[in-house]
Amino acid sequence: MATAASPHALLVQNPNRSSKSSFLKNPITTITTFPSNNAHFATSMRSNKPLSITCATQVQDRSSTTQTPQSQERVFNFAAGPAILPENVLKKAESELYIWRGSGMSVMEMSHRGKDFLSIIEKAEADLRKLLNIPSDYTVLFLQGGATTQFAAIPLNLCNPEDPVDYLVTGSWGDKAVKEAQKFCKPNVIWSGKSEKYTKIPSFDALEQNPDAKYLHICANETIHGVEFKNYPIPKNKDGILVADMSSNFCSKPVDVSKFGIIYAGAQKNVGPSGVTIVIIKNDLIGNAQPITPEMLDYKIHADNKSLYNTPPCYGIYMCGLVFEDLLDQGGLEEVQKKNMKKAEILYNTIDASNGFYRCPVEKSVRSLMNVPFTLEKSDLEAEFIKEAAKEKMVQLKGHRSVGGMRASIYNAMPLAGVEKLVAFMKDFQARHA
Ligand SMILES: Cc1ncc(COP(=O)(O)O)c(C=O)c1O
């Protein structure tokens, strides 16, 4: 039997065949030609065969991203990134996947220069500007290559090869950023938490910043070590430029963008799928790239072309736009921060109240709201913990390979119910193994 008789024919699973068809529970198109006396349909239903039917291209309007309860089939995903996305955003994307709002095609099929995609990227930028209250003298770029590419792009755009820059290293990502910068300028590590296994952030007063440095670089939230800046050092370099890797706490709380020269973030933790890198840059830092800078790393080229110099990650940008819309619907980043604080509080409290059964090595004042690393006093039980949690549909709790133990990443999209389930499991596990 042909299953794709026309561009609008869909393969619909026979509902008698499997009760688990999520497609039928959640149809994305409105069936308009469905004759009840159709003999072919009746035969297919009886014979347990897949059935081809013709659907209109009309799309159900699910324009509001209202909260939906966690589906029974989904796990609680505590991965560090790519990470959990809001269920209502995924459902909205599902409803628009085949045909985006009457355009006759999927976002994945659209020209990045057509009016439909332009409306998507412009709305994504406008919503991000609202969320973070981004001043008008800052440019927002949607790029590719991950935050790792920015480790090179930043010195290439902001320095000459002999220029000094300051790096404050509070974890492995900051360390990687320095190593890459060494190829393009003269970075100096003004403080490193390595000898204390990246569990601290120093007092800012004690930092010896170089007044000639082109910028001061920090990683606002170290994803692997769970160390997060709660406030930011004032850059003492001549131009007062602070640069922050916010990959793993981007849009998790309000941030005063005007304090930064550049904020950059890979999308795949808090705001979308992997493949999109967001750069927020003060306009006067654009246009001074080193002559060797590849075009794809030159902020001016991307700024002049409104992030459309080459084919951008269109679908990823669309997904980020849906997430921004959802964060605004939740009441903005102050509301989001309250939820994140509540989730982190119950998890850290459980660890701290366990009489040492669980331990978080990070100094309390700088513990991350996003990534919670912890170990078990009886380390030989860690594999069992991870296995049992997975059976309870709580996955990706294994710590990063460089530090071991466990890590629960509880980004914006992790519902409170997910953290409540985890702490209930932790208490039960402790009662059985203490
Ligand atoms: C804080 C931080 N910076 C940089 C990176 C690297 O990002 P990407 O893999 O997008 O290059 C990560 C990835 O996990 C990260 O957590």
pLDDT at 68: 53
Q: Map residue 9 onto helix, strand or coil.
A: strand
Q: Which two tokens stand for residue 290?
A: 């080193």
Q: Name the residue of 247, 278, 407 whose CB sits within 8 Å of the most ligand 1 atoms, as the mutation to test its pocket.
A: 247
Is 173 an annotated catalytic residue? yes
pLDDT at 72: 76
Q: Which domain holds residue 48?
A: 1-58
Q: Domain holding 211: CATH number? A: 3.40.640.10
**Pair (44, 179) in one structural domain:** no
Query: Which residues contact residue 10 at a Cβ distance below 8 angstroms, ignoring those fewer than 6 apart?
Result: 29, 52, 53, 55
Structural domain count of the chain: 3
**Pair (426, 320) in one structural domain:** no
- Would residue 188 count as lying in a domain? yes
**Pair (378, 286) in one structural domain:** no
Residue nearest to atom 2 of ligand 1 (CA): 247
Is 91 an annotated catalytic residue? no
Q: Domain holding 358: CATH number? A: 3.90.1150.10
C-beta separation of 76 from 392 below 8 A = no
Task: Measure the CA–CA gap between 227 and 219, rounded to whole angstroms.
Answer: 9
**Pair (111, 15) in one structural domain:** no
C-beta separation of 55 from 23 below 8 A = no
pLDDT at 402: 85
**Pair (380, 324) in one structural domain:** no
- Would residue 88 count as lying in a domain? no
pLDDT at 64: 40
Ligand 1 atom closest to Cα of residue 219: 1
- Would residue 79 count as lying in a domain? no
Residue nearest to atom 8 of ligand 1 (CA): 146
**Domain edge (last residue) among 329, 350, 381:** 329
**Domain edge (last residue) among 305, 329, 353:** 329
- Would residue 92 count as lying in a domain? no
**Pair (352, 232) in one structural domain:** no
DSSP state of 205: G
Ranges of residues in the chain whose predicted pLDDT is under 50: 1-66
Ligand 1 atom closest to Cα of residue 171: 1
- 268 CA distance to ligand 1 centroid (A)? 9
- 236 CA distance to ligand 1 centroid (A)? 26
- Would residue 70 count as lying in a domain? no
Neighbours of 112 (CB within 10 A): 17
- Would residue 209 count as lying in a domain? yes
pLDDT in tens, 312-330: 999 999 999 999 999 999 9
- Would residue 93 count as lying in a domain? no
Q: Name the residue of 224, 248, 369, 403 whose CB sits within 8 Å of the most ligand 1 atoms, as the mutation to test its pocket.
A: 248
**Pair (338, 269) in one structural domain:** no
**Pair (308, 345) in one structural domain:** no
pLDDT at 37: 38
**Pair (312, 425) in one structural domain:** no
- Would residue 97 count as lying in a domain? no
**Pair (187, 325) in one structural domain:** yes
Pocket of ligand 1 (CB under 6 A): 81, 146-148, 173, 219, 223, 245, 247-248, 266
Task: Measure the CA–CA gap between 88 and 322, rounded to whole angstroms.
Answer: 9
**Domain edge (last residue) among 313, 329, 345:** 329
**Pair (160, 121) in one structural domain:** yes
**Pair (216, 300) in one structural domain:** yes
